[in-house]
Structure 1
Amino acid sequence: MINPVTPWSATVQADLSESMPIFETALKEYKLKIYDVGDSIWLVAIWPNGGSIAFRLAFGMNSNFEKVAISEAPDEILITASTRLASYRIILFFPKSSGTMFRYTTTLRTKLPLLIPFWPRDILPLTKGGSTENTAGQVHVKQVGSRSGQLFFSMTKPQVGSVFYFQNLTAMSPYCQATEVSLRETVGGKWPELGFQFPVNAEKPLPADVEYIISDAFVKLDAAIPELDCDVVESYLESLATTYLLLPKPAPSQHDWLPTAEKILDNIYNHKGCWTQTGGSPYLNAYVNDYKTPAEIMVQLAVLLPLQEYLTWKGENHPMYQDLSDGLTTFYDKSIGSIVRWHPALEDDLDKSEEQKREMVMDSWYLHHPLLNLSRLALRGDEKAKKLFLDSIDYAIKVARHFEYEWPVFYKMTTLEVLKAETAPGDGGEKDVPGSYAHIMLMAWQLTKEKRFLLEASRAIKSLDGLAFDIFYQANNTAFSAGALVEMYKITGDKKYLELSYCCLAGIFKNCQIWDCDYGYGKNFPYFFSVFPLNDAPYTAAYEELEVFAALHHYLEVTAGITILPSLKVLIPEFIKYAVGRLAYYYPTLLPPEMIAEKTKTGKVQKDLWVPLEDIHDGWEKSGEVGQEVYGAGIAFGIIPRQYFKLTIFGGTLFINYPISNFRELKNSVTFHVEGSVSLHAEMKLLGISKTTLSKIKVEQKIKSSYQRVAELSDGAYKLVGKGIVRIILSK
């Protein structure tokens, strides 16, 4: 099969074969050759088997390179070049890494203001003879929307190997700010033209005589071509983690959640826009000032569960908990033997404006999500939640068996008629629902010890086989499915469950934005390492991010004592570290008014209210268009029990932005384990402790085989290695 190509690729193979390299070097067992072919400067990576792939380091824009100079330094090469239109600097760097990697950073300084209507992609597979149109390969991962600028592909004709490519899109923010363009959908392409397509500025000219970074690419070369699902996702996770260790990373945002939690609790409980009264009982609205949409059970439980966690941590009660708990039983429908989505007394108010806003219509994941939260409350001793959960579980089983463990998007609860089978034509239904279903079956087993629930879980999980990255449908459900799969692995010893958990997590990290959108309104929001709720979602969402945060904590808890992929000990803790501060910026109280949309789809935004916006968009788009989601208002309630630890003996609180385990208070000391990588760092703060006591505290961390003193950076603040035992000692 011949692949169609553009004119900017059609002659590259011939140009390279007819040119002599201007520089050659070796990178481990690979050869690297640099060519100047007129309008482009190329780096050709040659595999040990002779296969090769070309990387465009610079593009001349309708002009040829006239002066190219190369100088060497330890671990890097500097290339300076110029055309009639601009001057370029290219730094080719060879970082110390466990993989075979190089990085090229290209800057551009134009001689006059320029509009740039086109730019070709920067990766092209080559052949030993013939033309690039005859090559073949498989693209495993590419950028979607504003997600990471990543590309993972294998070249299979000829059999060459694989490439993991990652653009540090943060570096292009100044260019985007100057020209008002976006970095969405810039890394990808169609075989054989792949890689980064620099975002063109066809309307606002690039200023003259200002240097901008136009590419900052990390490239990892691999001789292997993964074929099995587990090999593909494990190679992706390993490559992403290896690259992540080398990436420039912003400082994580800081936020003290303790006072914020009290503001949030007060705002939700007392603000009328958060509540609807039905039958004399209060129910949370999904969105502030949305009185048209009936109360939903998912919304009540989405706040109730983290509120229960927070109140338990705090050791106090609050009347809002009882209000929410008392209203749950009204969502149970005896005629079908299950909880339902909408408040039964309000179904006539459904306006049918959306497919699911109809009587007895169920979105498949919407049944399992409330059941999961009910089971969590049940395991913590809530008898009302336990009864609702167990009274509904047989209906969930009935639905699963009816659909043969492959769920559609929408169905009728009474007849099980399929109302919408696929998310898009040919894409199937909600593919991570088997994982959610298996999760609630495991919870039912924990509550009852009935083996039938384990059997149901194993039947459902078979539907995940062969999906790899495509298990991902909704981020929070996929992330919690990963933990459930590990629990199945611990029960059965079957390694396929552990491997499937890696597929779930690969889907999560594939849908992350590991760059900072520092242009437009993006200057006001810390995007780095955020996660998108759906494969095609155009924005990140508050509630789903909170649940992914909680689910990744859970994954580390259930894998304690199990050897998991080292890459996960890099990626999971770092997601948590950045989420802890970033999630605060969903609250409009921390955002400038000009960033918030004037019109919302649902309800009305109250900018001084501690209830988060649902949606954060690309830097050139305003946020909060969907609404101000009440069901996401429990962010602080979910974060505090996982990142704040009471220090009874010191009279204060410990905050850490990394996951930890084995927290123990002894007579004169506290110990815990930091659960990450020695290549990274966590931040710890000792809060609410008197200066006198702080002066008597010594912090140590076990590095290799011995404890070493950790220096105090400022009052009660410390920088810890990302893995190891920490002890805090109060001297007499």
Structure 2
Amino acid sequence: MNALSPWLLTVNAQLNSPDLTAIYEKDVAGYHFKVYLIGDSCWLVASWPKRNRIAFRMAYSPNDKLQLKKIAEKDKKVTFHISSLIGEYQSGLQLPVGNSLVFRLKATLKTSAPLLFPFWPRDIIPLGAAGSDLLAEGDIRVSQVGNRSGLLYFNLSRPKAGSVLYLQNLTALADYNQQTETSAGNTVGGEWPEIGFALPPTLKNKALEANKIYTLGDAYIALSEEVPVDEPAMVRQYLDLLAAIYLQLPKPATTYKHWPDTLQKGLKDLTESPGCWNQVDGNHYLNAYVCDYATPPEIMVQLAVLLPLLDYVEWNDSQLAIMKKIKDGLPAFYDQKLRTIMRWHPKVADTMDGEEEHKKPLVMDSWYLNHPLLNLSRLALKGDEVAKKLFVDSLGYAIKVAHHFNYTWPVFYKMDTLEVIKAETQPGKGGEKDVAGLYAHVMLQAWELTSQKRYLAEAEKAALKLRGLGFELFYQANNTAFSAGALLRLYKVTKKVVYKELSYLCLANLFKNVQLWDCNYGYGRNFPSFFALFPLNDAPYTAVYEEQEVFCAFHDYLKHAEGQDILPAVRLLLAEYIRFVVERAVYYYPPMLPKEMLSEEVKTGEVDASLWIALEDMHDGWEKSGEVGQEVYGAGNAFGILPRHYMQVEDQSFMIYTDYPTYGFSPKKHRPARFKLAGDGRLTSRVMLVKTKKGKMPEFSVTLQDSKETIKGKKTKEGHLEFTVAGDSEIHINWK
């Protein structure tokens, strides 16, 4: 047990007093809820069926004596009206409904004076067994890092009781954060047993205004009697509880973004802007960042843009000259001596200044070898012979590296000697742990391309290295997402359940690194950020490239999951992440943002606010964005979204758009058009008939499978027709 503060000792003694009387109590599904008013705090004490207890603070006024004015109960919601020296509280308790064991605690305060809060205690105390003043012991599995979800997932192990997923709806704190100029980042966490949410301390002269209502907390809490016995059980519980809370969490409304226009603007600037290109030995190469001429061309950058372009031309049945430009330069990355593709263009690799440890000719970042191989394999499977040769000729080296490091890759190593340059991301944290899954994906592609079973065996050996990594598996978001898809494919091929469970482990790590709240303060009011994904465990910003690749990987995962027995929570969360990417991703482009929120200092290259090339980085609302640079290798953003969310109908004046992924779209000329939405039927998707030509659109009949009743849509000001449809529905669209 860690050292305790006086606040916790005092509260623990008070809540264990035999003379304590509840002001409210209720039994729900075997759980017992009691509310107590003691001194300066109001507490909810929840008891498991085995009588172990946990306390959540509902109201607080330091060194005060709270006064209960009234209790109002309606529709499973109980509101406690409480007077204090700092103002009038309304503390709401929303009790669990139906089979869900999710309850909500929301506190608002109407301030009695201008207030500064230099300190605020955390709001959860694991009390332990009834009749004992010994605090419970437990293990924190997940807590908030930076601006990620205000989330705490923990198990109570002694006395054995169960598990808790606690999610603070940080969106609700926007008025507090705006007024006090504080961030909602790093507000949920703590050290056992003093855990939970604490208001960020206010700054001098940034007080809350008097006689104004502020939300001081809005927590969603899921309880379970299960203490997971192993890693797969823990992962399943985490995903199930997260989905249960997500269903009840307030989610921001989305608006339709017309991606065909965004794509054309981005294509024009990518093609024509000299800041996007460099030239070496007669070939053209994309810069990593706009106007970044100091860094040699990287193979990862070329392929990260080429593959989304290929998605687009296959969808549009068109040709892009830019693709030949990129392809022509790829063979130059192959090193005949090492028999592998290289990260840096060999002709100019020695021009780097070496200021950063990875910017040296023969230094390889572990994922930077496997990621380009994955993209080359995708080209090869589509019939590209040059890509096939580069891929197959590099496989021996990739396997050699995997064997040398026993499928546990460091961060940086020397390509010729395999000397480790940097072993760990941080002391004691290990190297790039998710590269084992990325490598497994590469080997699966090699097996599919060549039918040689040794590659399938390699994939299995690497995949099993992910066991036991828990919530420490994640190194980089896109690689963890590719790992999830590879493991699901391995499960389908081998029928070994361990691989499906490991795919869930990868997904759980990804959903640990999202932001399930909207940063509506400071510059954050200019762009949506709900369900944004962070590229690295400790990254202080979200990034377009990783988000775009995770978006595509999630689409791929859902396609492989079709017809499989997959956790409902997985289907729900993947589809919702995709829906919000389609809403948010356009705000990575600087023309969508006010110039005053763009950083004046740029780490790499330059930022041109008029250019439709995405910023790498979006920050907390009090920080400017774009300080890393304008990311050319994130240019695949629109080219990944458009083909996956717009369905073309031959010789017609409309396209079909959905913000959920879809399955089984019928051929372009057949009617009615049929397709099925992914996701969960408890949530809804936007379906639109998007006008593509002048003049009137046809008359439409939109129905669900096995239903003759048409769904009514609404016409938008642009002339499109919009519908709201439950996830997991099969939709039929006819026209005349």
Give the TM-score taking structure 1 as reference length: 0.98
Partner of 1:189: 190
Could you tell me which of 528, 535, 542 is aligned with 1:533?
A: 535
Q: Report the Cα offset of residue 497 of structure 1.
A: 0.2
Which is further off, 100-109 or 492-501?
A: 100-109
SS in 2 for 1:146: coil
Q: Is residue 225 of structure 2 the alignment partner of residue 223 of structure 1? A: yes
For residues 695 and 359 of structure 1, do their structure 2 counterparts lie closer, same or farther at Cα, with a shift above 3 Å needed? closer
Question: How far apart, in 2, do the equivalents of 1:547 and 1:97 lie?
Answer: 38
Q: Matches of residues 648-663 of structure 1 in structure 2 within 5 Å?
A: 648=650, 650-663=652-665
- TM-superposed CA distance for 1:66, in Å, is 2.8
- The offset of 1:706, in angstroms, is 3.3
Identify if the C-alpha distance between structure 1 residues 590 and 689 changes in structure 2 by more than 3 Å, giving closer, same or farther.
closer
CA distance in 2, matches of 1:406, 1:4: 37
Instruction: Give the structure 2 partner of residue 352 of structure 1.
Output: 354
How many correspondences in the alignment?
728
User: For 1:682, what is the secondary structure of its paired residue?
Assistant: strand
Choose 217-226 or 494-503, whichever is displaced more.
217-226
Equivalent position SS for 1:189: strand
Question: Does residue 688 in structure 1 map to residue 691 in structure 2?
Answer: yes
After superposition, the C-alpha distances for 1:187-219 in whole angstroms (9 at most, x for unaligned) are 111111111111121321111110011111111
Which residue number in structure 2 is paired with residue 435 of structure 1?
437
Kindly indicate whether the alpha-carbon contact (under 8 Å) linking 1:97 and 1:242 is maintained by their aligned counterparts in 2: no
The answer to whether 1:376 aligns with 2:375 is no
The Cα of 1:633 is off from its aligned counterpart by 1.0
Unaligned runs of 5+ in 1: none
Equivalent position of 1:114 in the other structure: 115
Moved more, 458-467 or 693-702: 693-702
Deviating more after overlay: 537-546 vs 83-92? 83-92
1:719 pairs with 2:732: no
C-alpha distance in structure 2 between counterparts of 1:41 and 1:233, whole Å = 33
Cα distance in 2 between the residues matched to 1:31 and 1:256: 50
Match of residue 12 from structure 2? 13
CA distance in structure 1 between the aligned counterparts of 2:68 and 2:50, rounded to whole angstroms: 33
Stretches of structure 2 that go unaligned for 5 or more consecutive residues are none
Which residue among 630, 633, 636 is the counterpart of 2:635?
633
Q: 1:130 to 1:202 in 2, by over 3 A?
A: farther
How far apart are residue 261 of structure 1 and its match?
1.1
Over residues 647-701 of structure 1, what are the superposed CA-to-partner deviations in whole Å (9 max), with x where a residue is unaligned? 1153321111100000003643100011111111111111235687645210111
Residue in structure 1 matched with residue 234 of structure 2 by the alignment: 232
2:571: which partner in 1?
A: 569
Check conservation: 1:226, 1:232, Cα contact below 8 A: yes
When residues 533 and 399 of structure 1 are mapped into structure 2, their CA distance, relative to the original with a 3 A threshold, is same
Which AA in structure 2 matches 1:106? A
2:182 pairs with 1:177: no
Deviation at 1:41, TM superposition (A): 0.3
Which residue among 297, 318, 322 is the counterpart of 1:320?
322
Q: Deviations for 1:246-268, whole angstroms, at most 9, x for unmatched residues?
A: 11111124311112211111111
Q: Say which is worse superposed, 562-571 or 6-15, in terms of deviation.
A: 6-15
List aligned pairs for 1:249-260, cutoff 5 A. 249-260=251-262
Structure 1 residue 579 corresponds to structure 2 residue 581: yes
Partner in structure 1 of residue 3 of structure 2: 4
Q: What are the Cα deviations for residues 16-58 of structure 1, in whole angstroms up to 9, with x where unaligned? A: 2222111111122111111111110000001111110001001
Which residue of structure 1 lines up, in the alignment, with residue 475 of structure 2? 473
1:252 & 1:605 partners in 2: Cα distance? 28
Counterpart-to-counterpart distance in 1, 2:734 and 2:425 = 55
- Worse-superposed segment, 16-25 or 527-536: 16-25
Taking the aligned partners of 1:234 and 1:691, their CA distance within structure 2 comes to: 50
Separation of aligned partners in 1, 2:58 and 2:194: 15
Separation in structure 2 between the aligned mates of residue 668 and residue 316 of structure 1, nearest angstrom: 24
CA apart distance, 1:482: 0.6
Give the stretch that moved more between structures: 681-690 or 99-108.
Answer: 681-690
**What is the match of residue 138 of structure 2?**
137
SS at match of 1:161: strand
> 1:584, CA displacement in angstroms?
0.6
Which residue does 2:455 correspond to in 1?
453
Corresponding residue of 2:269:
267
Alignment check: 8 A CA contact 1:253 1:578 kept:
no
Distance 1:24 1:519 in 2: 37
Match of 1:102 in 2: 103
Tell me the SS of whatever aligns to 2:568: coil
Distance in 2 between the 1:408 and 1:206 partners? 48
Residues 551-580 of structure 1: CA deviation (Å, up to 9, x unaligned): 000000111110100001211111000101
Query: Which secondary structure state, in structure 2, belongs to the residue aligned with residue 427 of structure 1?
Result: coil
TM-score by length of 2: 0.97
Letter in 2 for 1:639: I
- Give the CA deviation at 1:269: 1.0
Q: Does the CA contact (< 8 Å) of 2:698 and 2:735 recur in 1?
A: no
Structure 1 residue 130: Cα displacement: 7.9
* Counterpart AA for 1:720: V
Please give the root-mean-square deviation of Cα atoms over the aligned residues, in Å.
Answer: 1.4
Deviation at 1:11, TM superposition (A): 1.2
Aligned CA distance change for structure 1 residues 647 and 129 (closer, same or farther; 3 Å):
closer
- Matched to 2:494, the amino acid is T
SS of match in other structure, 1:708: coil
Q: Which amino acid aligns with 1:137?
A: G
Indicate the SS of the match to 1:206: coil
SS in structure 2 at match of 1:664: coil
Q: Deviations over 1:345-404 (max 9, x none)?
A: 111211111110012000000000000001111111111111110110110000000111
Q: Show the counterpart of 2:600.
A: 598
Per the TM alignment, residue 174 of structure 1 is displaced from its structure 2 partner at its CA by 1.1
Query: Residue in 2 aligned with 1:674?
Result: 677
1:702-727 Cα distance to aligned partner (Å, 9 max, x none): 3xx53532111214211111111100
2:710 paired residue number? 709
The DSSP-based 3-state class of the residue aligned with 1:171 is: helix
Do the aligned partners of residues 350 and 668 (structure 1) sit closer, same or farther apart at CA in structure 2, a change above 3 Å counting?
same
| Structure 2 match to 1:361 | 363
Aligned partner (choices 309, 312, 322) of residue 310 of structure 1: 312
Which residue type is aligned with residue 464 of structure 1?
Answer: L
1:163 is aligned to 164
Distance 1:401 1:252 in 2: 47
The residue type equivalent to 1:6 in the other structure is: S
Alpha-carbon offset, residue 528 of structure 1: 0.5
- CA distance in 1 between counterparts of 2:183 and 2:597 reads 16
Selected match of 2:700 from 697, 700, 705:
697
Residue type of the alignment partner of 1:681? T
Deviates more, 1:535-544 or 1:260-269: 260-269
Kindly indicate whether residue 590 of structure 2 is the aligned counterpart of residue 588 of structure 1: yes
Cα distance, 1:3 vs. partner? Answer: 2.8
Kept after mapping to 1: 8 A contact 2:129/2:136:
no
In the alignment, the residues of structure 2 paired with residue 156 and residue 114 of structure 1 have an alpha-carbon distance, to the nearest angstrom, of 40
5 Å-filtered alignment, 1:278-293, equals 278-293=280-295
Distance 1:608 1:4 in 2: 54
Residue 131 of structure 1: how far off its partner (Å) = 6.7
> Relative to structure 1, is the Cα distance of residues 365 and 690 closer, same or farther in structure 2, using a 3 angstrom cutoff?
closer
**What is the CA-CA distance between 1:84 and the residue it aligns to?**
1.9
SS in 1 for 2:611: coil
Structure 1 vs Structure 2: percent identity of aligned residues? Answer: 50
Secondary structure of the 1:415 match is coil
State the one-letter code of the partner of 1:730.
Answer: W
Query: Residue by residue, what CA displacement relative to the aligned partner does 1:459-494 show, whole Å, maximum 9, x if unpaired?
Result: 111211111222211100000111100111111110
SS at 1:166 equivalent: strand
Q: Which amino acid aligns with 2:409?
A: W
Secondary structure of the structure 2 residue equivalent to 1:414: coil
| Shift in alpha-carbon separation, 1:667–1:278, aligned structure 2, 3 A | closer
SS of match in other structure, 1:301: helix
Q: For residues 598 and 690 of structure 1, what CA distance do their matches in structure 2 show?
A: 41
Q: Specify the alignment match of 1:65 in structure 2.
A: 66
